[in-house]
Amino acid sequence: MGQGQRNRAVTWICWMAAVAVGCIVSPAFADQIAVRDETGGVIVTEIITSAARGWGFELSQPVTLTALGVWDDGGDGLTSAHTVDLWNGGATLLTSATIPTGTVAAAAGGAVQGGVFRYEPITPIVLAAGTQYVVAMSTARGDGDAFINFGGTTTTDPLVTINEFRLANLNGFAFPNQNFGGTSGYFGPNFEFSAIPEPSSLALLGIAIAAVGFMRRRKAA
């Protein structure tokens, strides 16, 4: 192979490496939303009992949790502040956030049943694949906000599998130890996360970076 052919080959490899870097890095560290849409569920606007309401889920690969959120019916601001907690299946609290009243918390994602989810960032934590987690929000009698009851058809991020809906059996905010199973839930709480690249993707990323560095050294020489 002549010098010109070798240069063209190296250039092609580095171009492909750059594409690989873009494909791996960009989606891997972009915020993703757990519940993307829900249709057919009943919107509950009058809360009779104060309780923690939410849903249980598992992940197909490790992720970094970055924010917790609450559904804002109508998208015009929350009437009351709401606490959103994340527990593991053993009722250990892992992280928490308070979503303030009004429109202070940023909305993200598309409209869901005419409303939006508003999020507060948290100190990032890593959630493992294949582990049961529960996310729930505080709801209080007369708090003026709504949630979606039980759900109809729910669209989640491909990495998230909802496997139960949860309710606290106390008249207040606590770990929702009532488990009703199923694939629906009390859709008020939500969360944002970033996927952690799998080992094979990290290996490809390393090769891509090395190739780009090689091309730069050749140009410098």
Structure confidence by residue, pLDDT tens digits, 134-149: 999 999 888 999 999 8
Residue 91 Cα distances to 28, 75, 174, 176, 177, angstroms: 29, 31, 9, 8, 8
Predicted local distance difference test score (pLDDT) of residue 30: 60
Is the domain of 19 the same as that of 112? no
Predicted local distance difference test score (pLDDT) of residue 92: 97
- pLDDT, tens digit (0-9, with 9 covering 90-100), for 109-122: 989 999 999 999 99
The answer to whether residue 31 scores a pLDDT higher than 60 is yes
Is the domain of 47 the same as that of 143? yes
Is the domain of 143 the same as that of 84? yes
The total domain count for the chain is: 2
The answer to whether residue 167 scores a pLDDT higher than 50 is yes
Token digits for 34? 């757990």
Mean pLDDT score, 100-115: 94
Predicted local distance difference test score (pLDDT) of residue 69: 97
The answer to whether residue 218 scores a pLDDT higher than 90 is no
Is the domain of 134 the same as that of 71? yes
**Main-chain phi, psi angles of 217, to 5 degrees:** -65, -35
Is the domain of 132 the same as that of 159? yes
| Domain that residue 214 falls in | 3-28+200-220
Q: What region, left, alpha or beta, does residue 182 occupy, with left being phi > 0 and alpha being psi -120 to 50 degrees?
A: left
Is the domain of 58 the same as that of 10? no
Structure pTM? Answer: 0.79
The answer to whether residue 181 scores a pLDDT higher than 90 is no
Question: Dihedral, CA atoms, 197, 182, 141, 114, nearest 10 degrees?
Answer: 60
Is the domain of 145 the same as that of 166? yes
**Main-chain phi, psi angles of 34, to 5 degrees:** -65, -65
Is the domain of 204 the same as that of 155? no
Is the domain of 16 the same as that of 115? no
Is the domain of 21 the same as that of 90? no
**Main-chain phi, psi angles of 10, to 5 degrees:** -65, -40
Mean pLDDT score, 63-70: 98
Is the domain of 129 the same as that of 172? yes
Length of the chain in residues, anyone? 221
Give me the CATH number covering residue 50: 2.60.120
The answer to whether residue 39 scores a pLDDT higher than 70 is yes
- The SS3 of residue 65 is strand
Question: Dihedral, CA atoms, 29, 70, 184, 140, nearest 10 degrees?
Answer: 150
The whole-chain average pLDDT of the chain stands at 83
